[in-house]
């Protein structure tokens, strides 16, 4: 089983459009959306949900008013400022249970906390595992781990060789959780100074965790000077630029129609994405 992860550092570089197109090219395949805060891949693949599961975060504290004597020890000791006037603010409570242990009156209990849902769905390209984190919930890294575990099980069960994962933006907890055990991380960047800055940080992260990387420069013709800077940087870092995709409003049009752009096979961008996929496929299958 091979796992390809698509990440970007900076958001909005075209990760999901490329992941959706790869899904069509690699089918049948297992698809994963690890951007659990703001998932978008479902908008291209129109999954039909087959299973829905609750995801439990750490339990949150609640204070029993009848037992509370107002000693305020919990409020003094809570490092997250989650307690005031004998009440726990659930958005600030991180579930550490410190207050639960130290309350002299045992007035604090821990309540189960459903902080999101994850789904197994059918798409026209294969099973898809995706999730929705509850509003204002944390634990995105753990939910990513849960989603990925189930994607591997789905791949085993259906005997599918490739897992394609649309990753989250940034370099924090959900991205770190997405990187473990990946065969190749494809970093999608764009030729802007912000794109270059964020590319360098995400390359640093992949190196830190020893993950093999390749780079795709999306909308490369928007600023060819910045594109050359990215190519030179990748050469110095010994990272292969596996694709350069043109700026083309058809990508947005395909998104508006809820289809991966690759289905419009005659387009220049579709041919570029296809060539890039073939190159990546050869890399991960050897």
Q: Which residues bind another protein (CB under 8 A)?
A: 8-13, 16, 35, 37-40, 43, 58, 77, 79-80, 91, 94-98, 101-102, 133, 135-138, 140-141, 168-173, 176, 191-194, 197-198, 201, 204-205, 208-209, 222-223, 226, 249, 252, 255-256, 258
Helix, coil or strand: residue 159: coil
Instruction: Pick the closer one to another protein by CB: 11 or 70.
Output: 11
Query: For residue 25, which of 280, 274, 279, 193 has the smallest C-alpha distance?
Result: 274
Pairing of strands 126-133, 240-244: unpaired
Instruction: Pick the closer one to another protein by CB: 155 or 167.
Output: 167
Instruction: Pick the closer one to another protein by CB: 10 or 155.
Output: 10
Would you give the distance in Å from CA 44 to the centre of its chain?
A: 16
Provide the 8-state DSSP code for 84.
Answer: E
Other Cβ atoms within 10 Å of 167 Cβ, number: 28
Report the C-alpha gap between 242 and 284 in whole angstroms. 13
The strand pairing partners of 55, in sequence order, are 116
**C-beta of 159: minimal distance to another protein in Å?**
32
Instruction: Pick the closer one to another protein by CB: 98 or 281.
Output: 98
**C-beta of 161: minimal distance to another protein in Å?**
29
**C-beta of 204: minimal distance to another protein in Å?**
4
Instruction: Pick the closer one to another protein by CB: 8 or 150.
Output: 8
**C-beta of 157: minimal distance to another protein in Å?**
29
The widest CA-to-CA distance across the chain, in whole angstroms, is 73
């Amino acid at each position: 089983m091979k796992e390809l992860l698509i990440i970007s550092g900076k958001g909005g570089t075209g990760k999901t459009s490329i992941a959706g197109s790869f899904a069509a090219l690699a089918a049948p395949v297992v698809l994963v959306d690890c951007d659990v805060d703001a998932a978008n891949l479902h908008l291209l693949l129109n999954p039909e949900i087959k299973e829905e599961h609750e995801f439990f975060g750490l339990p949150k504290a609640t204070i029993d008013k009848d037992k509370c004597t107002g000693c305020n020890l919990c409020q003094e000791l809570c490092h997250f400022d989650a307690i005031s006037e004998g009440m726990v603010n659930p958005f600030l409570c991180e579930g550490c249970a410190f207050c639960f242990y130290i309350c002299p009156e045992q007035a604090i209990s821990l309540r189960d906390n459903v902080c999101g849902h994850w789904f197994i769905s059918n798409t026209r390209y294969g099973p898809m595992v995706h999730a929705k984190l509850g509003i204002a919930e944390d634990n995105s890294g753990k939910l990513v781990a849960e989603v990925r575990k189930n994607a591997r099980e789905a791949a085993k069960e259906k005997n599918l060789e490739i897992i394609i994962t649309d990753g989250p933006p940034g370099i924090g907890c959900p991205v770190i959780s997405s990187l473990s055990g990946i065969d190749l991380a494809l970093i999608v960047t764009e030729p802007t100074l912000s794109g270059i800055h964020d590319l360098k940080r995400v390359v640093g992260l992949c190196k830190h965790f020893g993950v093999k990387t390749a780079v795709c420069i999306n909308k490369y013709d928007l600023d060819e000077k910045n594109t050359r800077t990215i190519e030179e940087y990748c050469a110095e870092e010994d990272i292969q630029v596996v694709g350069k995709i043109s700026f083309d409003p058809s990508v947005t049009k395909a998104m508006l129609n809820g289809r991966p752009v690759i289905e419009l096979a005659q387009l220049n961008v579709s041919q570029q994405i296809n060539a890039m996929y073939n190159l990546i496929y050869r890399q991960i299958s050897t």
